[in-house]
Amino acid sequence: MSNVDTGAPPEFPVTIDDDAAERIYRVLVAYADADPNQRLAFIRQMKTTGVGLGQTEWRIKAGYYGPTCFSICDNEWFVKGTRDDITPATLEQIDIANLELAKLRDTILSEQYP
């Protein structure tokens, strides 16, 4: 599990529209090894989420190594791995991805609630 503190969750819900979903997926590709070819499927699924409340999960890849899942849980955005891979390199990659997702979430939130 990630050891990085991404701050308190925002008090307002972040709306996951096409633009937000696109930006989230860019972070997942850059920092969590997500497949660039799955971008449209990801955007389509995130549109069904709408407001980033409740829970949703996107399988980045099937396997035991590296970041494997992106989750939204009540305005928290994060990637996680499996218990089978707790190597320092994977934990660092997950921490970096989670920090980038938190920064993006806060940026989108400030754009939606100026």
**pLDDT tens track for 89-106:** 999 999 999 999 999 999
> What's the pTM value of the predicted model, to 2 decimals?
0.85
Q: Is 89 helix (H, G, I), strand (E, B) or coil?
A: helix
Give the chain's radius of gyration (CA, Å).
13
| Percentage of the chain lying above the pLDDT 90 cut | 48
* Number of other residues whose CB lies within 10 A of the CB of residue 97: 26
